[in-house]
Structure 1
Amino acid sequence: MPSQEKIEAVAELKGRLEKRSDFILASYSGLTVEEITNLRAKLRKEGSEMKVIKNNLFLLALKESEKHKDKNIAFGSEYQGPLAAIFADANLPSAAKILKEYAKTNKNLILKAGYLDGSVLNAEDVEAIAGLPSREQLLAQIAGGINGPARSIASGLNQIIAGLARAIQAVAEKNNQ
């Protein structure tokens, strides 16, 4: 029979998964308390949250979560040992970037897996997501892509109107002579 503490831990994880369905799993074994605190602060600035988890309880929470229960998520034996779940709102690439940059300078942080928009991700997928532009950068690129053709159309129309004005002025000058 599960203890009340485990039931509460599963309920808390389930609540986090309902609120923030996308996550990254990372091994943090060997990080000092100061390093973990520093990493958590960096993630918090980007709207993400790092939570040390018990693997079995996390899998139970995944199976009970409304957003994940039909996905049949299972992580293999390589995900044993101490893991942390990094929960992200809509900006998982930003959290992945922070983790990837931190892992470059601290070899004790190892990206293991993740979950994004209904898909289970392996470590390589998480690193690939870290290479994606942020949401703001993507919006700026889209705006630039839309603005370019609009600018060309406006310039073309301006040239037509200017040409028409020059032709009208030439006809007016010819008639005045």
Structure 2
Amino acid sequence: MARPDKAAAVAELTQLFRDSNAAVLTEYRGLTVAQLKALRKALGSDAHYAVAKNTLTAIAAREAGLETFAEKLSGPSAIAFITGDPVTAAKGLRDFAKANPALVVKAGVLDGRDISPADITALADLESREVLLAKAAGAMKAKLYQAAYLFTAPASQAVRTIDALREKQADAA
């Protein structure tokens, strides 16, 4: 029979896996408590960085339907549970890992799909959601302006042609 405290820890981790739209497994060997605190801050408010026992994490991941982490759980492992924008958290992890090489990204899950450390780096290289939305809105606005110009061009050209004909008739008369 499992101890109640371990069962509660597994239930909490399982709920975190289910509630998050992304999770990143990291190894934090060699990081100090102050550095872990800085990492939690770098991940942003939409991410929860949890250090848990590997066996409990494996059980929780299996219960949540994620088999990715099972073979990667060795050594001191921690998981970043991301409920908001995964790009922001990936940037935080990438930037922190550049400054602190002791942090190693092992694996991840994004919307139920397994992702590699290279995928997490590629995700971090994306622009933020707001910038991408602004670019899309700008492109749509440009296309609408182009369409409006296309529809008004024949009318304005016809007006210029009629004015030229009137001028020509006025000069001939």
Deviates more, 1:150-159 or 1:94-103: 150-159
2:43 is the counterpart of 1:43: yes
TM-score (norm 2): 0.86
Larger of the two Rg values belongs to structure: 2
Alignment of 1:47-62 (within 5 A): 47-62=46-61
Alignment of 1:124-143 (within 5 A): 124-143=118-137
- Contact kept, 8 Å, 2:23 with 2:82, in 1: the verdict is yes
2:25 corresponds in structure 1 to 25
Q: Which amino acid aligns with 2:70?
A: F
**Deviation for aligned residue 1:108:** 1.2
Q: Distance in 1 between matches of 2:68 and 2:42?
A: 28
2:114 is the counterpart of 1:145: no
**Deviation for aligned residue 1:25:** 0.9
2:91 is the counterpart of 1:102: no
Q: Which amino acid aligns with 1:26?
A: T
1:163 corresponds in structure 2 to 157
Unpaired stretches in structure 2, ≥5 consecutive residues: none
- Aligned length, in residue pairs: 171
Deviates more, 1:20-29 or 1:122-131: 122-131
Q: Distance in 2 between matches of 1:136 and 1:102?
A: 22
Deviates more, 1:95-104 or 1:48-57: 48-57
Q: Distance in 2 between matches of 1:31 and 1:48?
A: 19
**Deviation for aligned residue 1:175:** 5.4
- For each residue in 1:114-135, what CA deviation from the matched residue of structure 2 results, as whole angstroms up to 9, or x when unmatched? 0012221222222222222222
2:7 corresponds in structure 1 to 7
Secondary structure of the 1:2 match is coil
% identity of equivalent residues? 34
- Contact kept, 8 Å, 2:94 with 2:124, in 1: the verdict is yes
Q: Distance in 2 between matches of 1:133 and 1:114?
A: 19
Secondary structure of the 1:112 match is strand
**Deviation for aligned residue 1:174:** 4.7
1:73 corresponds in structure 2 to 68
- Contact kept, 8 Å, 2:42 with 2:93, in 1: the verdict is no
Q: Distance in 2 between matches of 1:53 and 1:142?
A: 40
Secondary structure of the 2:81 match is strand
Q: Distance in 2 between matches of 1:56 and 1:106?
A: 26
**What RMSD over aligned residues (CA atoms) do the two structures have, in Å?**
2.1
